[in-house]
């Protein structure tokens, strides 16, 4: 797969590096043959915000032949999209190339007309700019990224990592995304409204931290009923104190965190085991297959059976 990343004068090294780090790691890990190339409005070089000169930058025609086009950020002044880049993005989109607008890059994607009438997200500081320029776009501050299949936008700087890992998982499966995440030692799963395809965080050593101990215990007992009351008892806290401490520690509610990790465990079993849907539902604490399917469908917009068919890592066909 060929990924074209837009570079411009004044882009930060971090924004430019995020998609290259994630997607190039796919190749370094031997998971698939993915290559990234930099392009700009004109071939040659660009100077980053840090003052580095980057050579070997190709012209906009590269985007038209790519499988994925990434606009990793945008100019701080929010300037309108140039005609050359607009044309390149539109042509790429018309030929079913996925277009990613990470962080402020959502502004360029919106200017290209690819988000008209759709939901989107960008850095919170650019919400007013984007809303004023494109009032038909519904902006959502509660998510890390929004993927429409053909167009994806992500929130602030670090959420570009979440979005790029999502692309890896979408194209290659959960195991591949987990391997890339582990190799890069990226931030653990962050709670958000979007289904996020990142391996669950390994809790820190529990020590004297009651919440860390509960996280560790919960992951080892996902098949058990894990009510807030039971978790609070495990932490030797009152329910109210526990919920407040849990959210401060994880950024999530206890119920949301448990559900997310049950789904993570279920995805791994779907990919790597021959267990039936009923058995996976029980092992991951969903109680029954109906509840499991409902939660899985709400989170990932697909069924467990279809997910297994697409992402199984076991040899041979599966009939589950």
Q: Report how many domains make up the chain.
A: 2
Judged against a pLDDT cut of 50, whether residue 200 lies above it is answered with no
Q: Which of 54-63, 188-197, 256-265 has the lowest mean pLDDT?
A: 188-197
pTM over 0.85: no
In a domain, 51, yes or no: yes
Whether the CB-CB separation of 37 and 3 falls below 8 Å is answered with yes
Residues facing residue 44 across a β-bridge: 57
Tell me: do 164 and 273 sit in the same domain: no
Instruction: Return the structure tokens found at 183.
Output: 């190799």
In this prediction, residues 77-87 reach a mean pLDDT of: 91
In a domain, 174, yes or no: yes
Print the SS3 string covering 60-79: CHHHHCCCEEEECCCCCCCC
Average per-residue pLDDT in the chain? 87
Percent of the chain whose predicted confidence (pLDDT) is above 90 = 64
In a domain, 189, yes or no: no
Tell me: do 84 and 208 sit in the same domain: no
In this prediction, residues 82-109 reach a mean pLDDT of: 94
- Integer Rg of the chain from CA: 21
d(CA 54, CA 246) in angstroms, rounded, equals 44
Instruction: Return the structure tokens found at 50.
Output: 């840090």
Closest CA to 31 of 152, 170, 212, 168: 168
Whether the CB-CB separation of 46 and 7 falls below 8 Å is answered with yes
Tell me: do 162 and 55 sit in the same domain: yes
In a domain, 195, yes or no: no
Residue 239 sits in a domain whose CATH number is 1.10.10.60
Tell me: do 275 and 319 sit in the same domain: yes
Tell me: do 6 and 141 sit in the same domain: yes
Tell me: do 174 and 215 sit in the same domain: no
Give me the residue label for tokens 């709400």: 298
Tell me: do 160 and 217 sit in the same domain: no
Tell me: do 151 and 213 sit in the same domain: no
Strand 2-6 versus strand 53-57 pairing type: unpaired
Give me the residue label for tokens 């570009």: 160
Q: Which pLDDT does position 11 carry in this prediction?
A: 97
d(CA 292, CA 31) in angstroms, rounded, equals 29
203 pLDDT band, cuts 50/70/90, is very low
pLDDT in tens, 105-158: 999 999 999 999 999 999 988 988 999 999 999 988 777 888 998 999 999 888
In a domain, 10, yes or no: yes
In a domain, 193, yes or no: no
In a domain, 52, yes or no: yes
Can you list the alpha helix ranges (DSSP code H) found in the chain? 13-28, 61-64, 83-94, 105-111, 127-133, 159-172, 174-184, 210-220, 228-235, 239-250, 254-272, 277-283, 289-300, 304-311
d(CA 248, CA 193) in angstroms, rounded, equals 18
Residue 215 belongs to domain spanning: 203-320
Residue 23 sits in a domain whose CATH number is 3.40.50.880
In a domain, 196, yes or no: no
pLDDT in tens, 67-80: 999 999 999 998 98
Look at the alpha carbons of 12, 196, 123, 247 in this order and tell me if their dihedral is positive or negative: negative
């Amino acid at each position: 797969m060929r990924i074209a990343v837009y570079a411009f004068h004044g882009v930060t090294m971090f924004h430019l590096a995020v998609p290259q780090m994630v997607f190039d790691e796919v190749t370094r890990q031997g998971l698939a043959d993915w290559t990234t190339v930099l392009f700009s409005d004109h071939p040659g070089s660009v100077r980053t915000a840090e003052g580095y000169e980057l050579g070997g930058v190709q012209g906009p025609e590269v985007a038209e032949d790519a499988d994925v086009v990434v606009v990793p950020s945008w100019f701080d002044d929010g300037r309108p999209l140039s005609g050359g880049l607009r044309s390149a993005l539109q042509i790429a989109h018309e030929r079913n190339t996925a277009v990613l607008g990470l962080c402020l890059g959502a502004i360029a994607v919106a200017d290209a007309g690819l988000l008209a009438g759709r939901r989107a997200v960008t850095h919170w500081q650019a919400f007013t700019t984007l809303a004023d320029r494109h009032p038909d776009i519904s902006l959502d501050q509660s998510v890390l990224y929004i993927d429409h299949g053909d167009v994806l936008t992500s929130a602030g700087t670090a959420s570009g990592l979440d979005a790029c890992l999502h692309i890896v998982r979408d194209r290659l499966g959960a195991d591949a995304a987990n391997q890339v995440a582990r190799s890069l030692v990226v931030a653990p799963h962050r709670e958000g409204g979007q289904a996020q395809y990142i391996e669950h965080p390994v809790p820190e050593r529990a020590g004297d931290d009651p919440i860390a101990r509960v996280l560790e215990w919960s992951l080892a007992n996902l098949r058990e009923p894990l009510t807030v009351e039971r978790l609070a008892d495990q932490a030797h806290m009152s329910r109210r104190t526990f919920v407040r401490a849990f959210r401060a520690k994880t950024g999530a509610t206890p119920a949301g965190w448990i559900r997310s990790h049950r789904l993570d465990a279920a995805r791994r079993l779907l990919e790597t085991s021959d267990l039936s849907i009923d058995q996976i539902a029980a092992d991951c604490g969903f109680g029954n297959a109906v509840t499991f399917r409902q939660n899985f469908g709400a989170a990932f917009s697909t069924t467990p059976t279809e997910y297994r068919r697409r992402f199984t890592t076991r040899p041979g066909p599966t009939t589950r």
